Structure 1
């Protein structure tokens, strides 16, 4: 942008952000401004000729090979996971899948779409019972837990960068009794089923009388927890993590967008692959060009608060990094699936705002709770607008299936 235009433009953006921080911008305005920014990004990304488009992509490919595997690794972790798991339980689906879901039809719920995408991963990665599986960047374990339940003889190792995520997954893998005191006016044993407000989790309450007037002891058995013994979770920074183990299948869902040097990353991952292993990579992307998330101007809001150090790959970008792996298959998922996913997250956030407000206050402080509530809502709106742009045919999701290259 011309310097003479940039100054008043930045001033206008600052004014808009000031209004956003006070939660004064209507959603319709946020959506309109987001679409204007996306149109500007497309004008920047599309080149006048096919040769220039290819040259631009190749220049990006070569630049990545000179970078570290990841940069500013602590910032994305704090940006997304500073909020406790309780927030994401209120916003995401019951599997806590913090990535694109797959809506088979208009009637699909978020939970249906989570399951459909998890099933798609298993199908395309050719998961079979008895395999050893590595889930790189496992988040809250949506895929690890799904595979562990569906393929009970598989042995799953998940790598995440958050101790709270590890604790959540391990909690889901266990089960047991909890106890509390309940005031019982009837002095009779009671037995009933209670549906939790969180994700329709079923709890079995067994009431046992004790010699305390009007009180009894309640033992609570949580059937939602899974009693899984085939899941191990490791907390590590993937850019520096090393191990000697090898696996039959490796899957990575929306982690590559946080990385830079794909040559070094795929070399690292290939060392964990057996000779007949398969690697499934899922990342969001633009169909034609790639770019870095950089905080250069006032309107680089998403980068500043949610995606520092991130990358927007092109749909075919990994095809240029086949030094240690060879592509077996390559698929695209229309961006409307991600747009609808994020719209569902936004809707759940709005529906659960009474419960979310104290979480925001305890995390960011009362003085900043309104601002960060607006930021998170705007983040979900921006994701929906990004992937819904041009009917989902600009930004989308790519899946790659690789085999190990044997020299």
Structure 2
């Protein structure tokens, strides 16, 4: 009978640089490593064998059939940082499959039911109507947002902290708190947009209203935010009222495509472009162009790919457990789409290292609030979040993904009040 850990270790590219154990008592990999990955059950083995790569690993981990030792489930970064780049399981050929079935048992090659936390692919859904199956239809976008953002407002409060902001912060110094860094991010965006008292701001995909409230409170603008998440909108409107900003700020539960107002002085899009879909960039940035007044400013803040050699779609784990239908393009793709929408690009910068620090802060918050977080959303969902945030941190640290600000103006006939040199500083 084959020893499970030794068989699995041979599947991974170069072998695993951590200790690998299995329920049959076998072990492999770097047995001196302080971090151990334990295949605890036959179902965990079946997940790994039937869904090679990050999806099988995620399924086994989320379900509790794959146990990580030596690290906290709220922040598995120390272990993940060792195995990232080694998680592609080589698919065995037909002859090898027959041999493994004989050695490990046929039952391990029958795909188990995915954990309940998994968002099934569109073709598996039982909803009626063709529009559901169209990527980035209003119905499907609403469901994707509901899957990720309507987990629990209390859970997000524990993870994100008082700022209740779920986008990359800007650290004025590495030791700044998350709240200080999120305020610094919002302040930079406000300066880039050159906001002035009495101006009108539209914030697309506003989340819990952080930008809307900050811009209204600190810059005196009349700010409107829209979000597809009912839970976010409810939380944001309550916070606006509590902070006595309802004379300036409003958050609506609605698809941005239904915003009818025009003539905004500025528009911000902070973390929404990832959900739009690359094929929809022309329509999205065309919408922005049409809602801005002449000479108005637009700031696009979004996660991007570091290169164009890979497809836009996210990996299987991210797509099924975190951001269904999410797509990432290069910053150049976004710049080109903005220019094709007759928006003049004025400034462009990459702040990816700040996102690594942001994610580390969110992981710390999850660890500190682990018991309450598990009680709020369940152990499986809490594991998903710890895994996703730690893995994303590694991606930003290693320049596999980036975070770009692109500032553009609606320039008409070449006439603009934009300064000859940028006035917003660092």
TM-score by length of 2: 0.67
- 2:150–2:230 CA contact under 8 A, matched in 1: no
Q: SS where residue 398 of structure 1 aligns? A: strand
Partner of 2:333: 317
Partner of 2:63: 21
- 1:257–1:310 CA contact under 8 A, matched in 2: yes
Q: Where in structure 2 are there 5+ consecutive unaligned residues?
A: 1-10, 14-47, 70-75, 91-133, 414-426
Q: SS where residue 157 of structure 1 aligns? A: strand
Q: Where in structure 1 are there 5+ consecutive unaligned residues?
A: 41-65, 176-224, 361-368
Partners of 1:301 and 1:384 lie apart in 2 by 15
Q: SS where residue 325 of structure 1 aligns? A: coil
Larger mean Cα displacement after TM superposition, 127-136 or 316-325: 316-325
What aligned pairs does 1:105-254 form with structure 2 within 5 A after superposition?
A: 105-152=173-220, 154-175=221-242, 225-238=243-256, 240-254=257-271
- 2:348–2:404 CA contact under 8 A, matched in 1: yes
Partners of 2:404 and 2:208 lie apart in 1 by 21
| Change beyond 3 A, Cα 1:142–1:12 | closer
Aligned with 1:302 (options 315, 318, 321): 318
What aligned pairs does 1:270-289 form with structure 2 within 5 A after superposition?
A: 270-289=289-308
Aligned with 2:393 (options 373, 379, 384): 384
Q: SS where residue 151 of structure 2 aligns? A: coil
Q: SS where residue 375 of structure 1 aligns? A: helix
Partners of 1:12 and 1:302 lie apart in 2 by 12
The count of corresponding residues between Structure 1 and Structure 2 is: 312
- 2:344–2:411 CA contact under 8 A, matched in 1: no
Q: SS where residue 174 of structure 1 aligns? A: helix
Partners of 1:90 and 1:351 lie apart in 2 by 9
Partners of 1:15 and 1:275 lie apart in 2 by 51
Shift of 1:397: 1.1
- 2:213–2:245 CA contact under 8 A, matched in 1: no
What aligned pairs does 1:47-58 form with structure 2 within 5 A after superposition?
A: none
Partner of 1:95: 163
- 1:122–1:147 CA contact under 8 A, matched in 2: yes
Higher share of residues assigned strand: 1
Partner of 2:313: 293
- 2:212–2:250 CA contact under 8 A, matched in 1: no
Point out which structure has higher relative CO (alpha carbons under 8 A, 6+ apart): 1
Q: Are residue 359 (structure 1) and residue 379 (structure 2) matched?
A: no
- 2:304–2:404 CA contact under 8 A, matched in 1: yes
Q: SS where residue 381 of structure 1 aligns? A: helix
Q: Are residue 334 (structure 1) and residue 351 (structure 2) matched?
A: yes
Partners of 1:278 and 1:344 lie apart in 2 by 31
Q: SS where residue 292 of structure 1 aligns? A: coil
Q: Are residue 375 (structure 1) and residue 394 (structure 2) matched?
A: no
Shift of 1:395: 1.9
Shift of 1:68: 6.1
The alignment's C-alpha RMSD in Å is 2.8
Q: SS where residue 311 of structure 1 aligns? A: coil
Partner of 1:256: 273
Partners of 1:341 and 1:164 lie apart in 2 by 23
